[in-house]
Every structure is written in C-alpha cells, then in structure tokens.
Amino acid sequence: MKGIYRISILFFIPLLIFGQSNSKLLKLDDAISIALNRNSNLIKSTNNILMYEKSVKNAYGELLPTLGVNGSFNWSNTSDEGGMQVDFWGNEYLVPPTNSDARNWSLGVGGNVVLFNGLSNYNNITKNKKDLESAEFSIQKLKQDIVLETTRLYLDVLYNQELLKVSKDNLEYNKKFLETVEAKNQLGSASIADVYAQQVRLGNAELSVIQTEKDYEVAISNLLDYLALNVLDKYEFQNPYVNKEVQNPIIEEIVRKIESDSSYVNQLIDEALENRPDYKSQILNVESKNYGMSISKSALFPTLTGNYYYSTSATQLSSLFNRRVFSLGLSLNIPIFSNWSTEYSMQVSEIQLKNSQEDLNILERQIKMELKKGYLDYITAKKKFDVSNKNVISAEENRKVNNERYNLGSGTILDILQSDKDYTEAISNKLSAQFEYYLYKEAIVYYLGRLDISKYE
C-alpha cells in the first residue's frame, strides 16, 4: 500500500510542476492586441471596407465609356431535288436538282457613354467616398470599444484576484483566531459559545474563499472568451497600474486638468465632438444622405447618352473587312411622367436624410451625457478611493485593538467578529473603489475619442 502511495506521488508531482510551468503571463497590452486581432465584429467590419472601396471604384467606372465586341457566323444549306415546273406562259419545263451552301460572317465593336444624367454619376462618386470614410471612422470607434471592454474585463480579473487574496488572508486569520479561542476555552477564560461563534465565522470565511474563487474563474473565462482564447488554458495577470512609469500621459494630463479646474468639462465636450470617431462617422453619413437626395433629384433632368459602333460582314472570312460600317449617335431621354417613381425616390431620400440628422443630434446629446457622467464618475471614484484607504486604516486599527482587549479579557467575541467583518468589508470596498478609479480614468479618454490604438496594432 505504501509502495502504491509513493508511486502515486511520483506520478502526480511532475504533472503539477508541468501544469504550473504551463501558465503564461497575459499583460493588459497583450490582451488588447489579441482582442483587436481576433474580435469577430472587427474582422467582419474590416472585410466590409473592401466593399466600400469597390463601390467607389464602380462609381468612377460609371463615368467611363463602355466597350463591347460581338461576332457571329451563320451557315445554311439548301437542297432541291428538282422536278417539272410551269412558267408564266403555262409551259412545263424540267428543273434539275440543286444543292447550295450559304455562309455569313459578321463582327461588331461598340458601346455608349453617359454624357449627362443630372450629375447623378458625379454625386454617386462623392456619396460612395463619404460612405467609405464613414465606415473607416466606425471601425476606429469599434476598436476603441474593444480597447475599453478588454480593459474592463482585465480589471475585473485583477479585482477578483485581489479579492481572493483578501479572502484567503481572512481565512488564515480566522483559523489562527479559532486556535486562540479554543486555547482560552481550555484555560477557562473563554466560553464554549465563543468557540462556536468563531467556528461559524471560520465556516463563513471558507465559504467566502470558495465563492471568490468561483468569481475569479468566471472573470478569467469572460476575458478569455472575449479574446477568443481557450478558456481552459492557464494564464497569469499583472496589474499595469502599479508601476507609475506605465501611466498614460494623455490620461494623466486630462486628470490633472479635471482636478485643477471644475469648468474644464465644458472644454472636454468640445474636444470630444471634434475627436470622437463615431461623431465624425455620423457627420459623413449625413453628408452621404444629402448626396443621395441629389441623386434622386437628378431623375428630373434629361439624360444624354452617346453611342458608337463599328461593324463588318461578309460571306467569306477572307472578305470580312471589305465592307465596313461606322456609326455614331446621340440619345436624349426627357422624363415627363415616371409613374411617381421619381417622387417616391426623392421622398425616401429626404426621410433618410432627416433621420440621419436626427441620429446626429441624438449622438451629440449622448456624447455630452457620457462625458459629463464620466467626469462625475471619475471625481466620485477618486474620492471614494481616498476615503476607502482611510477606512481600511481605521478598520485595521480597530480590529487590532479589539484583539488586544479580548486577549486581556476585557473584550467580547462579538467585538472581535464585528471588527473582523468591518475590516474585511473595508478591504473589499477599497479594492472595488481602486479598480473603479482605474477604469474611469480610461473611460474619460475613451469618451473624448483619444484612446491611442496604434500601439496595440
């Protein structure tokens, strides 16, 4: 039995060592780079850019003349067995049998060009260019969304990681304190009720560790799933905000101005409207709809088209170019009544333009609301973080005092349990405020549209 036990230990130790060495360090910058490379929505949006580029090329192509080549060959065989025929005077005569072939070769080259269509072709070029630029700004906004969401998920992992450490430390504290209470009980200086109360507290601490471990693993799975990584792989995580040298200078500049001037938020709103890629995209969308309106109105104007054609035909291939025909022509189409289709097209374009302008107004209000809320969230989070640090110091000192009083016999177990609970809550609140503070600092730059994406690509 002992031999089997030793073999089992020797078998599992390499597995544990291999499993630990297999974990990889996943930094925040690395996570953001992975998200930008693997996000499905970003990949599909980037693929769609190719369609917008082809639409611009196609719009330019509508200005160019068309050219086409056609050719044909026909062959026929006529066979007549002959016989008696009657002429005009009623006389009969004999027609001999005949067999004849007929061949016809033809070749033609031609095309047409739109000379005027109410400037619809030129407006179509500009419209497609606006759509392309709008799509490119939308991709920039999507990238910024990915950066912020990855940062949020990464900070959630770090937050739960720190909470797990707190839960484990609290568990160790309660284990040691239970030993102290049991020793005092054996000496007669603590009641059995104190032992039971601390056992309950220890059980709750063990349950807290289990719950926190679950939350930590769920946070890791959420991050890895968002990064399109295998959720079964093991990773280690590093707090990027511990080292002051890695702080973003843009964030620090904005934070410094916010803290020194409360009216700076009004300047931030103007800056956001100037920098936000989604706002730029929507402005271009409005301009595109405006050109779409002009395209619809162009159906009211005449259309002038030029055509050109060259052809040749012969009964023998060698004589194909002996007879040549050149032709040039103009075609003018004046719309008089189009069954109200032009009016319908203009009405649809006008509605789309108005809706796009309304979307721009909504977005502008949303940007102002987000920035003001982000500003207030940051101010609140900073104050909350400062207060939580003081609460931890106070709760830690209170727990220490109650421990000393209990050891001296002048305190009760309830004071210890309450002070330990207060200390644990103070630590948890501090961690919550700390990571909220980190996130809101990043969010301010996101709301301004100044998140630097280039360093992750």
**Tens digits of per-residue pLDDT, 200-244?**
988 999 999 999 999 999 999 999 999 999 999 999 999 888 764
Range of the domain at 261: 40-76+115-308+338-456
Residue 31, domain member (yes or no): no
> If you ran DSSP here, which 8-state letter would residue 236 be given?
E
Under DSSP, is residue 91 helix (H, G, I), strand (E, B) or coil? coil
Q: Output the pLDDT for position 13.
A: 41
Residue 106, domain member (yes or no): no
Residue 162, domain member (yes or no): yes
Which residues does 399 contact at the CB level (< 8 Å), separation at least 6? 416, 419, 420, 422, 423
Domains identified in the chain, total number: 1
Under DSSP, is residue 324 helix (H, G, I), strand (E, B) or coil? strand
DSSP result, 277-302:
HHHHHHHHHHHHHHHHHHHHHGGGS-
96: region left, alpha or beta (phi > 0 left; psi from -120 to 50 alpha)? beta
CATH number at residue 383: 1.20.1600.10
pLDDT at 250 over 70: no
Q: Output the pLDDT for position 5.
A: 39
Confidence (pTM) = 0.82
| Tokens matching residue 425 | 């809550």
Q: Output the pLDDT for position 363.
A: 96
CB distance 229 to 34 below 8 Å: yes
Residue 97, domain member (yes or no): no
Residue 93, domain member (yes or no): no
Residue 414, domain member (yes or no): yes
Which tens digit of pLDDT belongs to each residue from 333-358? 999 988 899 999 999 999 999 999 99
Residue 356, domain member (yes or no): yes
